[in-house]
Structure 1
Amino acid sequence: MKSRSFCDYCGLAFTGPGYSPDGKSRFCCYGCYLVQRIVGSSSDEGIASWIIIRLGIGAFLSMNVMMISLVLYAAAPGDLGARTIQGLHWLMVILATPAVIILGGPFVLAGLRDLLRHRLTTDVLVVTGSLAAYGVSVAHTIMGRGQVYFDTGTMLLLIVTLGRLLEASAKNRTSQAIRDMMAMTPATARVLREGDEIEISSEEICAGDMLVVRPGEKIPSDGRITTGNCLVEEAAFTGESKPRTCSSGDYVFGGSVDCDGLIVMEVEAVGEDSLVARIREMVTQAQQDRAPVERFAERIATVFVPGIWLLAMGTAAYWAFACHNPARAGMTALAVLVVACPCALGLATPMASCLAIGRAARDGVLIRSGAVLERLPRINTIFFDKTGTLTCNSLSVEDILAAYGAAPDDILMWTAPLESASEHSIARAITTHARTHDLPVGRVTQFRAISGYGVEGDVIVNGESRHVTAGSLKLLLQSYELPPELTVNTESTAIYVGWSGVIRGVILLGDSSRPEAREAIAALKAAGICTAVISGDREDPTRRLACELGISEVFSECIPTAKAEVIKKLRGTGVAMVGDGINDAPALAQADVGIAVGGGTDLAKQSSDITLLGDDLSRIPAVLELSRTTCRIIRQNLWWAFGYNCIAISLACMGYIHPLIAASAMFISSLCVICNSLRLTRSPEKDIAVTPGKS
């Protein structure tokens, strides 16, 4: 795969050498270089002024050449004498020569670089067309006979230059949302050193530093609050407009805003480990990975320009020899070279893909690549994990049943140290509940997680050691005896705990469904997408939640490998998996599209194609609609690019298009593709509704 670079002005990814006048900066086109120099930093004011002066002089000279040409075109035969006409021709030589040098110089250099790399590009077409018109005109002027086309040569360069400026300005909007996100962290931070507040650059922050953040300020780095409480606005990351209540022990992200309350926080992640840096890396990677339709368009574009050269030469030969009109042959061939627009074809897919990925990132959804964006519209079935995905991930202990003389606190005392070694949401709920009781603190050795079933290990409390197992009834019945009094029939999640060959107790936990889950499921159904719940939990609580949310298909008591097997059987038919935990990672990897919710573990996110930075499930139907809109716009762009080139080139071959009109049409075609793609930047509130049916 060809390596990609990113334009220093518009931020779009591009393949090939691009435009690099100084060997350091890299631009995707000459237009981006021009705009960057004009609107660059204050240190570039001298260069910017020179660029503007050069464009102004070029435009002034070109317009004067055009005015003289209009005089010649408008004069009736005999109105102007031969000497007057010849004088005007030489005046146009004087005006056109510096105009061609000023406006055409960058295109000549770029075209020569491309030719040395054995590449035929749009710049080569522009250079060939304008220099051919200028050269023929100079020759005819020297010979004192024949038609001159100075206006075509100079105005072609002027129109192309102005078109590149407009195109670059439009492309710059593509990555604006991403650049805004990357600039969210403040420039300075206040760090506590020996009890004193010292203001330092954010780049000097180290892990372990204690930072002070006051109300209304941006949080400088990722870390955990040690003192104070506040409301934190994280809309830039999660898309959630409602601030999150944070207090001591809560994790906050650099770039979010402290709405009220002074806090002291300990820095835990800096530099490339911060959330902002990870978002930048993921979005950059997504823009580098090309979708199949983009690679298809690139393959066509590589043979497009050589094909246009052959067609132009064939057209010239036809008009010169078959029609005996050499003058018309040159102008027609020039029109063919200029009107062809590989730019529109090259922009059709990456422009829309980059905008969609940037728009999704702005709304708190990270898409791994353009290929994922292309697969999303084909999804027809979505499997949801239950705990932590469809539920609020706020499991709490409802009751503890005990047997064989054990007390509920005994069950909790021996179970909590075991569960503290796990990061499952059930384990967190049990350890959190244990902290509210005045229980001896134990530790665990020989810990082992039995994927999808539970955990076991040697627990040591007050010097006494026991081998404890906690998990599903199916797991414990393999090695432990079940007392009759612990046979439960409940819709709560049940964790059985045993040691010394007997099940000693049952911990019952409850959770509630996410408030937006029902609406999200309804939106997916309206879009014609089937939904199902797949969980390691028991049948009763899983089916109860599914009925509550309007989901008819349920897969319960599935261990991670069983989840992955179910998804694998449907792989390739348009199946997606939504999950948040380690036990969901195999299924996420097997799905056509894996979606990890924001509260999920790092392994789940690494296995997924899409990551929701928040836990809002309503973003799933929204991103599906965004992908459908994007693919629809890509198809429209490609049809426009192919249709325009077929019609415009045909008309140019027949001699119906003047080269100046061809130059204007070429950039109007590119701008049409850009403007159509920019529809993706409209506010999500206007587009969030899911339309029925599949694209």
Structure 2
Amino acid sequence: SGHPLARAVVTAALDKQLVLPAVTQLQSMPGKGLRGQVNGSDFWIGSVRWMQELGVQLDGLDARLHTLAAQGATLAVMARQTTTGLKALALLAFGDEPKAQAGAAIATLRARGIRVMMLSGDNTAAALLMAKRVGLQPDEVISNVLPGDKAAHITRLKQQGLTVVMVGDGVNDAPALAAADVGMAMANVGGGTDVAMHAAGITLMRGDLALVAAALDISDRTVTKIRQNLFWAFIYNVAGIPLAAFGFLNPVMAGAAMAMSSVSVMSNALLLKRWKPD
């Protein structure tokens, strides 16, 4: 699986020099987990909520689950099909590390007057802990969100008259990226997928959150240049048409004016090449 948690487990196993058996009939349940066969036996691994939906008995893990959840861990359970039903075999707890530039990127967006929110499939405790580390307030966090629900949250924000930009990097974010006014997919961060990049309108080519503000900045500047160029093109025509109508503009001057109009527009547009992100 390309999921970040799945890669973390595989990396840890390889670091311990464990031999990983082949998995067949692998099925991915977005926002829930994975199902597959190993040596002919059926295994499930995924969120605690999904395990409860599948009827896995977690009574013996309750105390441990609550303790780890309170510490802000993202939890997953592995279960195996037995003659008496699904049996829990392992409990996995994951701790996220925020990107080094996350806090600064959020502060930059706020300085531009942009409200920042976090949509997370993690449990509430884990999401709030991460939010605190990157400078988000509790009311700016929506947790326990399934992939389809992310798109629904985006739609509700748009119905409030807001312009919504969604930033994501995985297949689970694709519906929300497509639902937003502007979707930004992050490539080269391990979790970036072709699905997310196709659903988004903008692809950030590095896993650097500072590029979000940079993309918005260059977009604003581009729109400004378009308006300026439309203005100059309009002015040349407004000045030239009356002169031509009254016979004060010969064809040579008209051609020169048209050339100058094109040069002005192109020169103004090329000034964007001087732009550099903060």
Please state which band the TM-score falls in when normalised by the shorter chain: 0.7 to 0.9
Match of 2:34, SS state, is: strand
1:576 aligns with 2:155: no
In structure 2, C-alpha distance between the alignment counterparts of 1:667 and 1:440, rounded to whole Å: 70
**Deviation, structure 1 residue 529:** 1.3
**Deviation, structure 1 residue 638:** 0.7
Matched residue, 2:32: 453
1:443 aligns with 2:1: no
- Describe the superposition over 1:519-553 as per-residue Cα deviations: whole angstroms up to 9, x where unpaired: 21111111111111111111112122222222331
Matched residue, 1:505: 90
- Tell me, yes or no, if the aligned pair for 2:105 and 2:209 is still in contact at 8 Å: yes
Matched residue, 2:56: 480
Match of 1:557, SS state, is: coil
Q: State which of 202, 221, 225 in structure 2 corresponds to 1:610.
A: 202
**Deviation, structure 1 residue 557:** 1.3
Look up the equivalent residue of 2:64 and give its one-letter code.
L
**Deviation, structure 1 residue 677:** 0.9
Q: State which of 216, 220, 224 in structure 2 corresponds to 1:632.
A: 224
Alignment of 1:243-322 (within 5 A): none
Matched residue, 2:144: 557
In structure 1, C-alpha distance between the alignment counterparts of 2:232 and 2:179, rounded to whole Å: 36
Match of 1:476, SS state, is: helix
Q: Normalised by the size of structure 2, how large is the TM-score?
A: 0.86
Q: List alignment gaps of at least 5 residues for structure 2.
A: none
- Tell me, yes or no, if the aligned pair for 1:576 and 1:594 is still in contact at 8 Å: yes
**Deviation, structure 1 residue 505:** 2.7
Sort the Cα spacing of 1:438 and 1:652 in 2 relative to 1 into closer, same or farther, 3 A: closer
Matched residue, 2:256: 664
In structure 1, C-alpha distance between the alignment counterparts of 2:225 and 2:194, rounded to whole Å: 33
Look up the equivalent residue of 2:112 and give its one-letter code.
A
- Tell me, yes or no, if the aligned pair for 2:236 and 2:257 is still in contact at 8 Å: no
- Tell me, yes or no, if the aligned pair for 1:496 and 1:507 is still in contact at 8 Å: yes
Q: Normalised by the size of structure 1, how large is the TM-score?
A: 0.36
In structure 1, C-alpha distance between the alignment counterparts of 2:19 and 2:251, rounded to whole Å: 88
Matched residue, 2:108: 523
- Tell me, yes or no, if the aligned pair for 2:24 and 2:38 is still in contact at 8 Å: yes
- Tell me, yes or no, if the aligned pair for 1:651 and 1:657 is still in contact at 8 Å: yes
Max Rg structure: 1
Alignment of 1:587-598 (within 5 A): 587-598=176-187
Matched residue, 2:10: 431
In structure 2, C-alpha distance between the alignment counterparts of 1:523 and 1:439, rounded to whole Å: 44
In structure 1, C-alpha distance between the alignment counterparts of 2:71 and 2:35, rounded to whole Å: 24
Match of 1:652, SS state, is: helix
Matched residue, 1:547: 132
In structure 2, C-alpha distance between the alignment counterparts of 1:654 and 1:446, rounded to whole Å: 80
In structure 2, C-alpha distance between the alignment counterparts of 1:440 and 1:513, rounded to whole Å: 30
- Tell me, yes or no, if the aligned pair for 1:578 and 1:595 is still in contact at 8 Å: yes
**Deviation, structure 1 residue 471:** 1.2
Alignment of 1:126-525 (within 5 A): 422-460=1-39, 465-478=40-53, 479-482=55-58, 483=60, 484-487=62-65, 488=67, 489-499=70-80, 500=82, 501-525=86-110
**Deviation, structure 1 residue 571:** 4.3
**Deviation, structure 1 residue 581:** 0.9
**Deviation, structure 1 residue 645:** 0.7
Match of 1:537, SS state, is: coil
In structure 2, C-alpha distance between the alignment counterparts of 1:439 and 1:669, rounded to whole Å: 69
Sort the Cα spacing of 1:439 and 1:623 in 2 relative to 1 into closer, same or farther, 3 A: closer
- Describe the superposition over 1:636-690 as per-residue Cα deviations: whole angstroms up to 9, x where unpaired: 1111111221122213323444544433322222211111111111141xxx34x
- Describe the superposition over 1:139-193 as per-residue Cα deviations: whole angstroms up to 9, x where unpaired: xxxxxxxxxxxxxxxxxxxxxxxxxxxxxxxxxxxxxxxxxxxxxxxxxxxxxxx
Q: State which of 194, 218, 237 in structure 2 corresponds to 1:645.
A: 237
Match of 2:225, SS state, is: helix
Structure 1 vs Structure 2 CA RMSD: 2.0
Sort the Cα spacing of 1:466 and 1:639 in 2 relative to 1 into closer, same or farther, 3 A: same
In structure 2, C-alpha distance between the alignment counterparts of 1:549 and 1:583, rounded to whole Å: 22
Look up the equivalent residue of 1:520 and give its one-letter code.
A
Look up the equivalent residue of 2:73 and give its one-letter code.
S
Sort the Cα spacing of 1:485 and 1:660 in 2 relative to 1 into closer, same or farther, 3 A: closer
In structure 2, C-alpha distance between the alignment counterparts of 1:531 and 1:631, rounded to whole Å: 23
In structure 1, C-alpha distance between the alignment counterparts of 2:25 and 2:236, rounded to whole Å: 69
- Tell me, yes or no, if the aligned pair for 1:571 and 1:590 is still in contact at 8 Å: no
- Describe the superposition over 1:318-341 as per-residue Cα deviations: whole angstroms up to 9, x where unpaired: xxxxxxxxxxxxxxxxxxxxxxxx
Sort the Cα spacing of 1:516 and 1:440 in 2 relative to 1 into closer, same or farther, 3 A: closer
- Tell me, yes or no, if the aligned pair for 1:486 and 1:505 is still in contact at 8 Å: no
The percent identity for this pair of structures is 38
Sort the Cα spacing of 1:438 and 1:642 in 2 relative to 1 into closer, same or farther, 3 A: closer
Match of 1:529, SS state, is: coil
Match of 1:477, SS state, is: helix
In structure 1, C-alpha distance between the alignment counterparts of 2:233 and 2:29, rounded to whole Å: 56
In structure 2, C-alpha distance between the alignment counterparts of 1:565 and 1:515, rounded to whole Å: 30
- Tell me, yes or no, if the aligned pair for 1:480 and 1:502 is still in contact at 8 Å: yes
**Deviation, structure 1 residue 440:** 4.8
In structure 1, C-alpha distance between the alignment counterparts of 2:255 and 2:44, rounded to whole Å: 76
In structure 2, C-alpha distance between the alignment counterparts of 1:440 and 1:624, rounded to whole Å: 46
- Tell me, yes or no, if the aligned pair for 2:72 and 2:126 is still in contact at 8 Å: yes
Look up the equivalent residue of 2:22 and give its one-letter code.
R
In structure 2, C-alpha distance between the alignment counterparts of 1:459 and 1:660, rounded to whole Å: 81
Q: List alignment gaps of at least 5 residues for structure 1.
A: 1-421, 690-695
